[in-house]
Amino acid sequence: MIGAGSLGSYIARELVKTGVRSLTVYDKELLEEENLLRHTIGDLWVDCSKVFGLKCELERIHPEIHINAVEKNIDKNLLVAEMKKADLILFAVGSSTVQWEMNKILKEQKCNVKVIYTWLEAGGENSHILSIDYNKQGCFQCLFTDEQGCLINNKANNVSEIDVEAYKIRNGCGGTRVAYGNAVLLRTTAVLLDVIRKNFERAESTNNLINITPTDVIDVKDTFVERKCRCCGDEDI
């Protein structure tokens, strides 16, 4: 799992409860006070490594599991090493740039492990789960490609740039954060657990995108694939 932020902490906690015995988590950030209301590890770990705090809390819940806490951001070498031994790679990071870069590496390296990307929209209400088998057409970059193969803003997002600005809270020193509660974290985690279960129970015929709103879970299947993405699309593009 790449990312031990708010969403990652919810996911990791529930994965352990479902029977996952070994989990490697990458994140180099420290837990800050403003993270507390939407993170699972509590105020004991403020100013400490998120992954180390998560490791301790998860192993306290279930002492027979093994959590490998890596206080680093994922890079190409680490990702390639992980894809050779992992059963599943899960991205729970908010940065589309990180997911974009790692998506390209996984495609180039012919990753044979199922990969799941999950993230919250900038407004904090909607979220998405993208399940990818790199032997099939469709990848994270497809979300940024139109029918002509041109790069566009993330077409899975529902909020406009104006709405994104409206959701931001500024601290007066140039920093920003988005106000959202745990409802979206709980909804996303619940749907994700079901996606993971299905991935291990049966092979999916297509790569799937699921959009999660406050009222609906919408499986759009492979309609996000325009067949023009320069990462996984037609060779002549």
What whole-number distance in Å separates Cα of residue 174 and Cα of residue 133? 39
Q: What is the mean pLDDT of the chain?
A: 89
Q: How many Cβ atoms sit within 10 Å of the Cβ of residue 231? A: 18
What whole-number distance in Å separates Cα of residue 30 and Cα of residue 234? 42
Question: Using an 8 Å Cβ cutoff, are 204 and 133 in contact?
Answer: yes
Residue 95 lies in a domain: yes
Residue matched to tokens 């993170």: 39
Confidence of residue 148 (pLDDT cuts 50, 70, 90): confident
Tens digits of residue pLDDT in 93-124: 988 999 999 999 999 999 999 999 999 987 78
Confidence of residue 35 (pLDDT cuts 50, 70, 90): confident
What whole-number distance in Å separates Cα of residue 90 and Cα of residue 11? 10
Task: State the alpha helices, DSSP H only, in 25-160.
Answer: 50-61, 76-83, 96-108
Residue 233 lies in a domain: no
Residue 230 lies in a domain: no
Residue 14 lies in a domain: yes
Residue 215 lies in a domain: yes
| pLDDT for residue 161 is more than 90 | no
**Domain containing residue 66: CATH number:** 3.40.50.720
Residue 52 lies in a domain: yes
Range of the domain at 137: 6-221
Residue 161 lies in a domain: yes
Contacts of 30 (CB under 8 A, 6+ apart): 47, 48, 49, 50
